[in-house]
Amino acid sequence: MRNRARIARIGFALVGALAMARSIGLPQTATQEVPAPAMPWSSPNGGEPEFEVATIKPSDPANCCARNWGRDGRRFMARNMNLKYLIQWAWNLQAKQVAGGLPWMDDARFDVAGEIDGDGVPNDRQWKIAVQNLLIERFHLQLHHEKREMQAFVLAIAKGGPKLTPGDGNVKAHQNMGFSGAPGQTMYGNGVNASIGDFIGELQRIVMDRPVVDETGLTGVYNVQIAFTREDPGALGTTELPDKAAPNLLDALQQQLGLKLERKKAPVDVLVIDHAEQPGEN
């Protein structure tokens, strides 16, 4: 039964991704999985999502060094992750938005495994809250936010207005934002009930060399579909692409979502690490 359900979810994802490829005139080779709706997570005590059980241990050097992670129901797994990258994911930040700390936070790699308490399946935001709380507890993190002026991308509405499909607003039941695609190939982004913050948080962490500042003024949640050729972060919008390739990110944003990116200096929210300790035995 479990295998049949998993096959059904994959089939649904491929159909959705192929439809997106057809709608924007790309080769029908999409592999991005869009999760099917699941029973929403509910807390056993009415509180925030937290891990019922979790382990954090040093990664095996023999398995170095590719990062990978996954979620299955309420179970979470991450391998070969340094603390800085875990913070980036949990707080939806680009690398330059994480400051402070000691060298081991970039160098030491950890495997994380755990299961969230409660019933149903957490959405993306609930997962991130749970991982934030786990990192604060196990690494004894002390953090603060501040604004710093730096080179950034400013996201604004392009001429002609946004081309965004509103979500149904049921964020608790179904909310996610994700990207898949290797460098030099087509990257597909799919979101369900995703805010602009959800969208740019994932985008800037994966494919950009600087943070993104949202100046769109858009406050809703949207079902996002975008496809673009993944470039080297330092060459965004300048790579000569092969014929029939998906557009670069800057063009794809305008053509498919009605949004634009502009490079300029701007005040950026930065998360500063005041204190952290390597975790002890679990």
Give me the pLDDT at residue 14, please. 36
pLDDT at position 22 is 43
**For position 53, what pLDDT does the model report?**
92
DSSP state of 46: S
pLDDT tens digits for the chain (282 residues)? 333 333 333 333 333 444 444 444 454 434 444 455 568 888 787 778 899 999 999 999 888 778 888 888 899 999 999 999 999 999 999 999 999 999 999 999 999 999 999 888 888 899 999 999 999 999 999 999 999 999 999 999 999 999 999 999 988 888 999 999 999 999 999 999 999 999 999 999 999 999 999 999 999 999 999 999 999 998 998 999 998 999 999 999 999 999 999 999 999 999 999 999 999 866
pLDDT of residue 75: 93
pLDDT for 80 equals 94
Q: Is 6 helix (H, G, I), strand (E, B) or coil?
A: helix
Q: What pLDDT does 49 receive?
A: 86
| C-alpha–C-alpha distance, residues 126 and 74, integer Å | 11
pTM: 0.82
**What is each CA distance from 181 to 13, 110, 157, 230, 274, in whole angstroms?**
15, 24, 25, 7, 35
Q: How many CB atoms lie within 10 A of CB 188?
A: 25
Quick one: pLDDT at residue 11? 37
* pLDDT for position 225: 97
3-state secondary structure 78-136: EEEECHHHHHHHHHCCCHHHEEECCCHHHHCCEEEEEEECCECECCHHHHHHHHHHHHH
- Helix H or strand E encompassing 15: helix 2-23
At residue 201, the pLDDT reads: 94
Asked whether the beta carbons of 212 and 179 are under 8 A apart, the reply is no
Report yes or no: 38 and 5 within 8 Å, Cβ to Cβ: no
Ranges of each domain in the chain: 51-141, 147-268
Burial class (CB in 10 A: 0-12, 13-18, 19+), 25: exposed
